[in-house]
Structure 1
Amino acid sequence: MLLVHPGGPFWARRDAGAWSIPKGEVDPGEEPLAAARREFTEELGLAVPDGTPVPLGEVTLRSGKRVLAWALGVADIDVSTIVSATVTVTVRGRPLSVPEVDRAQWFGLADARVRLNPGQVPLVDRLERDLAAEMS
């Protein structure tokens, strides 16, 4: 499972529970799948791989943010080539430009459960269920 780690000083030393699927806000009038594709490109600097998106449904994070997710089949993405868009955060009262994502990494499903923001873990469960159904 491809996960991304948020950039910036707040996340620099955090690992377990800090990673996420590539995601972001849906713009007004934008379809959620189109937003997911746009955010993937913004966060990774890569085109979305070919394939038919498989819906994984929605989860709600503790912050109240709703996350809609899709899965694609295995892609040949070299995570060392990502180039994330930047965002501005305030650190000690000063604006600081940081990458939205400082790294991406492929994880097995068991490790993804540990690394992911806990609110997103049900997405791994759904992906595993869908993969098991596909294999039977």
Structure 2
Amino acid sequence: MVKQSAGLAIFRRGGDGIEVLLCHPGGPFWSRKDAGAWTIPKGLVDAGEDPLLAARREAHEELGTDVSGDFHWLGEYRQPGGKLVLVWAVEPQQPIDASAIVSNTFELEWPPRSGRKQSFPEIDQAEWFALEQARTKILKGQVPMLVDLEALAADEL
């Protein structure tokens, strides 16, 4: 069975057009990676869980804030590893301060084979990016989400 994740393409309108909120993964693997490492807030859909509710839950866990607004279906995106990501676009009703995120944490044996567990934030940074810059920052498999977000914003929003 294909794993499903759900996420939110959170955007705002700025002086230079649409900006999207991207998250940088925490932990030692991602610490020195920037271009091609950022992601939308997303996570696994639990069995029987409504995917939009899962997307909102994941955004809350990763950003530390509830995201509310009009949710617009963006699409399904197959990732290079095979996972299917279901995505909604939303312009939040309340501003989100990217510098004030509070992410949940995970434990990892670090350094490897040391027997020591360390706690890391799931997301160590969030930032608003103009779409053009976001295309260079986001994971390669998520670039089509930005293309569709731009088209949706031009057509419907």
Same fold (TM over 0.5): yes
Choose the corresponding residue for 1:6, options 25, 28, 47: 25
- For 1:12 and 1:44, locate their aligned partners in 2 and report how far apart those are by CA, in whole Å: 18
Q: 1:18 aligned to 2:37? A: yes
Q: 1:112 aligned to 2:131? A: no
Deviations 1:19-76 (A, max 9, x none): 000000001110100000000000011111x311011111111111111111112551
Q: 1:57 aligned to 2:75? A: yes
Choose the corresponding residue for 1:34, options 53, 58, 72: 53
Q: Which moved further from structure 2: 91-100 or 111-120?
A: 91-100
- Which of structure 1's runs of 4+ aligned residues deviate more than 6 A? none
Partner of 2:144: 122
- For 1:63 and 1:134, locate their aligned partners in 2 and report how far apart those are by CA, in whole Å: 31
Kindly report the root-mean-square deviation, in angstroms, between the aligned alpha carbons of the 2 structures.
1.3
Structure 1: state its 5+ residue gaps. none
Paired AA for residue 131 in structure 1? A
Aligned residues: 134
Partner of 1:27, secondary structure, is: coil
- For 2:109 and 2:74, locate their aligned partners in 1 and report how far apart those are by CA, in whole Å: 34
Choose the corresponding residue for 2:85, options 55, 67, 76: 67
Normalising by structure 1, report the TM-score.
0.93
How high is the sequence identity, in percent, across the aligned residues? 53
More helix by share: 1
Pairwise mapping of residues 74-89 of structure 1 onto structure 2 (< 5 A)?
75-89=94-108
More strand by share: 2
- For 2:156 and 2:50, locate their aligned partners in 1 and report how far apart those are by CA, in whole Å: 27
Choose the corresponding residue for 2:119, options 97, 108, 111: 97
Deviation at 1:134, TM superposition (A): 2.9
Q: Which moved further from structure 2: 26-35 or 74-83?
A: 74-83
Structure 2: state its 5+ residue gaps. 1-19
